Structure 1
Amino acid sequence: MAETAVSYLIDKLIPLLTEEVNLLRGVHGEVLEIKRELVFIRAFLKDADQKAEVEGDNGDGLKAWVEELREVAFKIEDVIDVYIYHMTINRPDPHGVIAFLHKIGRFVTKLKLQRHIATQIQKINRTVRGIKKRSTSYGFDSLQQTPMSDAPQQWNDPRRAAYFLREAEVVGIESPRNKLIEILKTHSPERIVISIVGLGGSGKTTLAKQVYNYVKRDFDCHAWIAVSEPYSAKELLRNLIRKVYAATEVSAPVTIDTMDEQSLTEQLINYLQNKKYFIVFDDVWNKEFWGDVNFAFPENGGRIVITARKNEVASFCKRSVSSVHVHLMEPLPPDNAMELFCKRAFLSEPGRCCPANLEYWSRKIVASCQGLPLAIVAIAGLLSTKSKVPFEWQKFYATLSSELVNHSDLKSTTRILSLSYYDLPYYLKCCILYFGIFPKGYSVRRGRLIRQWIAEGFVKPQKNKTLEVVAKEYLSELIDKGLVENEEGKAKRCRVHDLLHVVISQKMEESRFCQVLSDESPTFEGVARRLSIICSSDNILQTTEISRVRCLFMFNGDKEMLNSTVNALATSVKLLKVLDFEDTPCLDHLPEDIGDLFHLRYLSVRRTKVKLLPNSIGKLVNLETLDLSQSLFYGIPASINRLSKLRHLFGWRYGNNTELFSFDRVRGIKIQRIECFKHLQK
């Protein structure tokens, strides 16, 4: 996945080459040349990433090319960040003879640094040109063309089974099916559109097919159209014409093969003018789809059902249709999920009932699917071939995440979930990957996510909008696409489905986006840009080279490990942008030299036992978010007034004693002056 790394780097280089040109003095030309080469390469990176994914182990040369490009993007970012750091700290003092001598010394230092960095960048430039030259051998398509890798691939899509399910095999859809049938049978002369929206594998196609089978005979003509992505509007209309004609046992005109889009639309609307029609469009991805078919359907009581992963498809329909109903797919309730599992896992058992000795592990496995029908069916199908002994099922449950990624019978399930990821623009791919940093099932505060996305540089500035507003729109878009869900009963928190978390974790690891250190995987490989530590193993900062890490997240951890880790921060990871210690109550201090983290933009010690900020905090001139909430702070050093870029400052806590999280009353923290914070947001 090189697209996100390269696009992110280009976005970073643009302001450096324009607004902050002085920071690149001496190497501006070389950096500009790299940026131009990367812009050219980016045009076909989405296709390259998808081809590498599809070819898998058979595309080693292509995968190596993608990985090399990603590594070069990382190296460019490292070199430029180090250069900017040294150029900034070597700025001269304003007055005096000593300042003049310092100025001379700094000039010599800068000159040596510029020559050294220029040499490094020239080497990188030659590497980039070589990568660009080799790209021609892979036959990539640019983004302006139809991506070759979007063509239908030969793989086992388990969703096709939904077309052939008997009613007795379907579980848990009786209520929504009957509700939709009632809407479709409403005696109304206007067009009615129903949009069935949900995550991949949530049962949209199954529900639509059951509804279709129930009501199609009540209409003069009907058609089921699989849309998917990409599609041709003309081929879609031709296919639709053939099917509605066939439904009335009439042959479609042979001339449709040579008709243009307008003629096809006219042909269809004329044929449907005096007929009751019922059309299902399955698996719609593009919100513009409705614009391609809208004018083909007359206002004579027609009924249309659309299945989609994105709510925006239904929103687009509402622009031209007065009666649009949206049905959001819900997870199967536990009892229905278990029933579906048993029907597929215990084919040879009497009544397809779960044996008593497998009841416990069966329910644990079903619960891990969180009501997602596709996952339940796929896992049950695999288990139907395994020995019906508790040890085997316990072992499967313990390795379920890796089974979903690696087992040939389950890969199709994770691939279906991956389709939504590949459909995202690169900046939203970065945002959705961020959920993999947090443990599975973790509910993340919206504000925390938004401010971290901004600190990372994922949020692209838009005219007349704050970065916070744009970031909220990003999150809303991910929710609208069904990838992120609001935490039930917690309006300010959100999460991703556990099985989607498995997919995200896989993509995150492949793209070197982040590595998660846990008890199961405690060794850092030294290549990821972000590090998430959710175990209490030895101090990773003292035992491993992690200088390239940009973001560090700590979850829990014992006191000894936490405190030894923070003491090594400034010397081990000088290029950190995000440092998040939220919810690590054993942490009781920050290092005195934390001010040396020049690039740091986000610092959180929320819900820790930290009491004091070091005076060096004033050196964090790029800091945008400082979160001290629910910690033990009462005051902040005066040096904080130098944080001119600060956008968010949180400092409230509960209680008036030293006991963490005492709920006596809400207190704030003391700040000497606040007028210097010109960028603070509400």
Structure 2
Amino acid sequence: MAESAVSFLLDNLTPLLQNEVQLLWGVHGQVQYIFDELERIKAFLRVADAKEESNDYLRVWVKQVRDVAYDMEDALDEFMLRLLYYHGHGFSSSLHKLYHFIKSLKARHRIASDMQGIKSRVESISNSHTRFNMAIPGWSSNRLAYRQLTIQGDALLLEEAELVGIAGPKKQLMEWLLNNETGRQVISVVGMGGLGKTTLVKQVYDDPKVKKRFKVHAWITVSRSINKEDLIDEIFTDIRKPVPPEVSNMNIDRKRETIKDFLQQSSYLIVLDGVWDVNDWDFIKHSLPSNNRYGSRIMVTTRNAEVASASCVEIHDQVYNLEPLSPEESWELLCKKTFQGKPCPRNLEEVCHCILNRCGGLPLAIVAISAVLATKDDANIDEWASLCHTFGPEIGENYRLDNMKRVLSLSFNDLPYYLKSCFLYLSMFPDFRKIETMRLIRLWIAEGFVIEKEGMTPEEVAEGYIKELLDRSLIQVAGTTSCGRIKSCKVHDLLREIVIQKSKDQNFGVVVKEQGMLPEKVRRLSVVKTLHNVQNKNLSHLRSLLIFNSEDSLTEFPKLFPRSLKLLKVLELKGAPIENFPEEVCKLFHLKFLGLKKTKVKHIPRSIKKLQKLETLNLKDSFVTELPVEILSLKRLRHLLVYRYQIESYVHFHSKIGVTAPDGIGCLQSLQKLCFIEGNQENLTELGKLNQLRRLGIVKFREKDGSTLCSSIEKLINLRSLSITSEEKTDVIDLQHISSPPQYLQRLYLAGHMETLPQWINSLQNLGKLFLKWSRLKEDPLIHLQHLANLVHLEFLQVYEGESLHFKAGGFPSLKILGLDKLDALQSVTMDEGAMPRLEKLTFQRCKLLKKVPTGIEFLTNLKLLEFFDMPDELIMKLRPDGGEDHSKVAHVSDVYSVCWLDDGWDVYSLEGFTERDTVAQPYPEMRSYRRSTLWKV
């Protein structure tokens, strides 16, 4: 970790050394000396970082190096801040020039004094390093080799790894879960951390038989730090889609009663994952009724045997004690993860058995150590043996847990230096949250953690970091898009405990909740709920401030900016209760990331032009509808996100609200993401200058500007995602003039009338997602789209005015999700055998004349989910399991639902597998994912 700090500092020193004019005479030499010494120390740090935990002297030395790197970074940033203040704006008066020159001299003398002090500290550290290095013969020969992780195809995920030894436990839980008992039954899975309790229960929860059996499903993560109100809100959100508006005004007891009343009417399955304390169970259980008529189930995972006993007190309740893997199962898992299923090389068998014995049969430990072993050279047995000696003796009751933590710590220590800071940054997020990967990537870049690589953008490099952390089993996939992109990630709770502790030990960052002490020098601060504990604290060294679930008005908060937060690079205020843009923010010269998503901010001040280093400005779901011309001064801006959605039951044409941008947007040459701007001819012309754009969103597009936009799009050779919405539903989107579309385009969203489908779309062989809405085409669009080899997700809304659609054999070879909405004239759908061979989800909505089941639907053998929204009763009745004439055609589909919209949400009837008593209409929990799919996101 110290190596990360030193490397970051060296990267920032290089440009400073190349511009000697900014340094007072004599300072340049000191900075050069520090630079050279730190370069020499850096190589040693790669070894020291990995071994500091086992040696107290080394730990102190590494801390000293880390502190001096931090202090020098602070000194240089302070110096640059003073230079800006004294020289940044220019003066015409000679008196002013003289005054500010004197002031500048003071600043330069200050930096000279700082550098002299830091130089003395570096000399002392360097001398002690030499003495220490000589005191350990053979030190350098024993250092661990670091080499680039070989990407192994599919990421080695902690919770989604190939499972070993799970068949028996799953079978037993399924028997308990699906028995014929009509009352409420609790099933607790208990065992120490790392045994795979969550993995096991998730396998059961996702089983199609379980999905069919229960009308309401909810998975609730009960983290150690979550408070009771957040817990109830999470339960409410998971079981009711959408949450009724009046809920926001309820107190916690009323919410609990409402949950109980709602669940009283349905068969439900609620998973409470990771219950830490009996009090948490006692609080939750009163909201989960017995409803004897329906036969509901609660599943609890816990490390605490007392929780398991307290939750299972009724006669039919069950406790399952999950045991460690057997030696044979452990060996199978190790070989799968280390050697990709191949046999272990003979020369490594003994050392692998030694390492495996230290893991104590814990799947998490085995997967984690396997990810480390997979990076090692098979021919270097010393490298493997050194890992075995890392662990202590197998004695005492807690040896498994102790060794587990050693394994996970070793996984962290084995990281290349550029990943350590990235991984520690995960400690800044509350433990009950999924972490959006793009948000994380932008934060990493703003912090300076991402190393430049020739031919790659920082975002592409950071995506590689995400992949590498997945392959090393240090993070898990929490959510993906329909095209397979990783949308969010999470950290296993045991790993989280370790990363939080390391973050504290190394003064990397601090999380402050209801109460807590701050260290003397805080560099990164995450605040949950309230700011009371950071008022009147010394925050002069702060580089990142992230606020989650703020309950404060923040009216006093802006006063901190000019006084204490002058070195701030990251300010994340997502969801904070603020209505006005804090103008004090514009005094933060070093700011690179500003997040105001889901705030009530309406206007951006002209003073934003002062934020010359700003790279990300996130105003999604705020109320900003116009950008000032001064935004054009931010030449380093890479991500400009300003839009919001207004969605009710179904998406409507004006549900997406963009922003008016000033003329001249083409001067922002660094822009990669620009969403959503209102189209006008001047700006549509300017777009062609933004050749770094990856994502572009345009609203209020006018037909007369078609040729202008087409000309610009042809120049955007790096474009991956394009969204265009016309000014009105009847206005034409004319994109016929594109002769050379961006060949890397992966996502295309077109909303508005089109006389014909643009011919160039069928040349987009990288296209994975296509949404066409309100097109009102006369010609069957399938003719032009069926040969798109990589198309995974296709949505039609009022696209076609013909009476029939024909999916031909061999067409849409990769399609997994298909949605057909409001095709008012559609009367028949035909699917040839061999069409859409990979289709998994098929949705029909509001096609009022479609009264026949699609011909050939039985050929869709991979179909898992079939949904009918507000479709004719005549069609639905033919699919009922109790005598429907076409039921046999969809009998192979796991989930078949009929859905209709009522005043306060979706009512859902299962058409497959439920008994008559279960067909009482209730809001279906999975509808939330559908409603998200109706949003037009690029």
The interval holding the TM-score normalised by the smaller chain is 0.5 to 0.7
1:499 to 453, 473, 494: 494
1:126 and 2:120 correspond: yes
Kindly indicate whether the alpha-carbon contact (under 8 Å) linking 2:529 and 2:552 is maintained by their aligned counterparts in 1: no
List aligned pairs for 1:574-585, cutoff 5 A: 574-584=566-576
Q: Taking structure 1 as reference, are residues 16 and 205 closer, same or farther at Cα in structure 2, changes over 3 Å only?
A: farther
Kindly indicate whether the alpha-carbon contact (under 8 Å) linking 1:23 and 1:84 is maintained by their aligned counterparts in 2: no
TM-score by length of 2: 0.45
What amino acid does structure 2 have at the position aligned with 1:543? N
2:349 to 202, 225, 229: 225
Q: What's the counterpart of residue 519 of structure 2?
A: 525
What amino acid does structure 1 have at the position aligned with 2:508? F
**Could you give the per-residue CA deviations for residues 169-207 of structure 1, whole angstroms, max 9, x where no partner exists?**
x9526699xxxxxxxxxxxxxxxxxxxxxx998769753
What amino acid does structure 2 have at the position aligned with 1:128? V
Kindly indicate whether the alpha-carbon contact (under 8 Å) linking 1:225 and 1:282 is maintained by their aligned counterparts in 2: no
Q: What's the counterpart of residue 110 of structure 1?
A: 104
- List alignment gaps of at least 5 residues for structure 1: 151-169, 177-198, 214-218, 232-280, 294-305, 310-377, 386-406
Q: What's the counterpart of residue 393 of structure 1?
A: none
Following superposition, the deviation at residue 615 of structure 1 comes to 2.5
Q: Which one has the bigger helix percentage?
A: 1
1:459 and 2:450 correspond: yes
Q: Taking structure 1 as reference, are residues 69 and 550 closer, same or farther at Cα in structure 2, changes over 3 Å only?
A: same
Q: Which has the higher contact order (CA 8 A, sep 6+)?
A: 1
Q: What's the counterpart of residue 6 of structure 2?
A: 6
Following superposition, the deviation at residue 127 of structure 1 comes to 1.0
Instruction: Provide the secondary structure at the position in 2 that maps to 1:101.
Output: helix
**Could you give the per-residue CA deviations for residues 104-131 of structure 1, whole angstroms, max 9, x where no partner exists?**
3222222221122111101110111011
List aligned pairs for 1:424-443, cutoff 5 A: 424-443=415-434
Instruction: Provide the secondary structure at the position in 2 that maps to 1:450.
Output: helix
How far apart, CA to CA, are the structure 2 residues paired with 1:451 and 1:211?
Answer: 35
1:418 and 2:409 correspond: yes
Q: What's the counterpart of residue 553 of structure 1?
A: 546
How far apart, CA to CA, are the structure 1 residues paired with 2:351 and 2:512?
Answer: 41
Q: What's the counterpart of residue 278 of structure 1?
A: none
What amino acid does structure 1 have at the position aligned with 2:105? L
Instruction: Provide the secondary structure at the position in 2 that maps to 1:44.
Output: helix
List aligned pairs for 1:155-166, cutoff 5 A: none
1:543 and 2:543 correspond: no
Following superposition, the deviation at residue 602 of structure 1 comes to 0.4
Q: What's the counterpart of residue 568 of structure 1?
A: 560
Q: What's the counterpart of residue 635 of structure 1?
A: 626
How far apart, CA to CA, are the structure 2 residues paired with 1:675 and 1:289?
Answer: 50
How far apart, CA to CA, are the structure 2 residues paired with 1:494 and 1:142?
Answer: 43
Q: Taking structure 1 as reference, are residues 210 and 487 closer, same or farther at Cα in structure 2, changes over 3 Å only?
A: closer
Q: Taking structure 1 as reference, are residues 583 and 593 closer, same or farther at Cα in structure 2, changes over 3 Å only?
A: closer
How far apart, CA to CA, are the structure 2 residues paired with 1:15 and 1:422?
Answer: 30
Kindly indicate whether the alpha-carbon contact (under 8 Å) linking 2:523 and 2:543 is maintained by their aligned counterparts in 1: yes
Q: What's the counterpart of residue 617 of structure 1?
A: 608
Following superposition, the deviation at residue 445 of structure 1 comes to 1.2
Q: What's the counterpart of residue 591 of structure 1?
A: 582
Q: Taking structure 1 as reference, are residues 290 and 544 closer, same or farther at Cα in structure 2, changes over 3 Å only?
A: same
Q: Taking structure 1 as reference, are residues 648 and 206 closer, same or farther at Cα in structure 2, changes over 3 Å only?
A: farther
How far apart, CA to CA, are the structure 1 residues paired with 2:138 and 2:105?
Answer: 41
What amino acid does structure 2 have at the position aligned with 1:485? Q
Kindly indicate whether the alpha-carbon contact (under 8 Å) linking 1:656 and 1:664 is maintained by their aligned counterparts in 2: no
Instruction: Provide the secondary structure at the position in 2 that maps to 1:209.
Output: helix
How far apart, CA to CA, are the structure 2 residues paired with 1:427 and 1:212?
Answer: 27
Q: What's the counterpart of residue 193 of structure 1?
A: none
**Could you give the per-residue CA deviations for residues 235-277 of structure 1, whole angstroms, max 9, x where no partner exists?**
xxxxxxxxxxxxxxxxxxxxxxxxxxxxxxxxxxxxxxxxxxx
1:679 and 2:676 correspond: no
How far apart, CA to CA, are the structure 1 residues paired with 2:22 and 2:608?
Answer: 23
How far apart, CA to CA, are the structure 1 residues paired with 2:49 and 2:467?
Answer: 26
Q: Taking structure 1 as reference, are residues 488 and 139 closer, same or farther at Cα in structure 2, changes over 3 Å only?
A: same
Following superposition, the deviation at residue 441 of structure 1 comes to 3.5
Q: What's the counterpart of residue 656 of structure 2?
A: 666
1:645 to 624, 633, 636: 636
What amino acid does structure 1 have at the position aligned with 2:566? K
List aligned pairs for 1:4-43, cutoff 5 A: 4-18=4-18, 21-24=20-23, 26=25, 27-43=27-43
Aligned pairs, number: 466
Instruction: Provide the secondary structure at the position in 2 that maps to 1:526.
Output: coil
Q: What's the counterpart of residue 88 of structure 1?
A: 84
List aligned pairs for 1:256-267, cutoff 5 A: none
Q: What's the counterpart of residue 66 of structure 1?
A: 62
How far apart, CA to CA, are the structure 2 residues paired with 1:282 and 1:114?
Answer: 52
What amino acid does structure 1 have at the position aligned with 2:2? A
Q: What's the counterpart of residue 252 of structure 1?
A: none
Q: Taking structure 1 as reference, are residues 23 and 607 closer, same or farther at Cα in structure 2, changes over 3 Å only?
A: farther
Kindly indicate whether the alpha-carbon contact (under 8 Å) linking 1:51 and 1:149 is maintained by their aligned counterparts in 2: no
Following superposition, the deviation at residue 612 of structure 1 comes to 2.1
How far apart, CA to CA, are the structure 2 residues paired with 1:207 and 1:664?
Answer: 56
Kindly indicate whether the alpha-carbon contact (under 8 Å) linking 1:9 and 1:73 is maintained by their aligned counterparts in 2: yes
Q: What's the counterpart of residue 307 of structure 2?
A: none
Instruction: Provide the secondary structure at the position in 2 that maps to 1:69.
Output: helix
* Structure number with larger C-alpha Rg: 2
Q: What's the counterpart of residue 164 of structure 1?
A: none
Q: Taking structure 1 as reference, are residues 206 and 644 closer, same or farther at Cα in structure 2, changes over 3 Å only?
A: farther
Q: Which one has the bigger strand percentage?
A: 2
1:534 to 528, 533, 541: 528
How far apart, CA to CA, are the structure 2 residues paired with 1:4 and 1:291?
Answer: 29
Kindly indicate whether the alpha-carbon contact (under 8 Å) linking 1:201 and 1:416 is maintained by their aligned counterparts in 2: no
Following superposition, the deviation at residue 662 of structure 1 comes to 12
**Could you give the per-residue CA deviations for residues 274-295 of structure 1, whole angstroms, max 9, x where no partner exists?**
xxxxxxx9786254635779xx
Instruction: Provide the secondary structure at the position in 1 that maps to 2:516.
Output: coil
Instruction: Provide the secondary structure at the position in 2 that maps to 1:646.
Output: coil
Kindly indicate whether the alpha-carbon contact (under 8 Å) linking 1:563 and 1:588 is maintained by their aligned counterparts in 2: no
Q: Taking structure 1 as reference, are residues 544 and 212 closer, same or farther at Cα in structure 2, changes over 3 Å only?
A: closer
- List alignment gaps of at least 5 residues for structure 2: 146-163, 171-192, 197-324, 336-342, 356-368, 388-393, 673-693, 695-938
Kindly indicate whether the alpha-carbon contact (under 8 Å) linking 1:513 and 1:530 is maintained by their aligned counterparts in 2: yes
Kindly indicate whether the alpha-carbon contact (under 8 Å) linking 2:452 and 2:461 is maintained by their aligned counterparts in 1: yes
What amino acid does structure 2 have at the position aligned with 1:33? Y
Following superposition, the deviation at residue 663 of structure 1 comes to 11
List aligned pairs for 1:307-386, cutoff 5 A: none
Instruction: Provide the secondary structure at the position in 1 that maps to 2:466.
Output: helix
Kindly indicate whether the alpha-carbon contact (under 8 Å) linking 1:656 and 1:665 is maintained by their aligned counterparts in 2: yes
Instruction: Provide the secondary structure at the position in 1 that maps to 2:34.
Output: helix
What amino acid does structure 1 have at the position aligned with 2:532? D
Q: Taking structure 1 as reference, are residues 414 and 656 closer, same or farther at Cα in structure 2, changes over 3 Å only?
A: closer
What amino acid does structure 1 have at the position aligned with 2:329? L
Indicate the percent of aligned positions where both proteins have the same amino acid.
Answer: 34
What amino acid does structure 2 have at the position aligned with 1:623? L
Kindly indicate whether the alpha-carbon contact (under 8 Å) linking 2:558 and 2:584 is maintained by their aligned counterparts in 1: no
Q: What's the counterpart of residue 790 of structure 2?
A: none
**Could you give the per-residue CA deviations for residues 448-495 of structure 1, whole angstroms, max 9, x where no partner exists?**
111111111111111111111111111111112221221145541111
Following superposition, the deviation at residue 668 of structure 1 comes to 0.9
Following superposition, the deviation at residue 64 of structure 1 comes to 2.8
Following superposition, the deviation at residue 608 of structure 1 comes to 1.4
Report which stretch shifted further, 121-130 or 39-48: 39-48
Instruction: Provide the secondary structure at the position in 2 that maps to 1:410.
Output: helix
Kindly indicate whether the alpha-carbon contact (under 8 Å) linking 1:93 and 1:102 is maintained by their aligned counterparts in 2: no
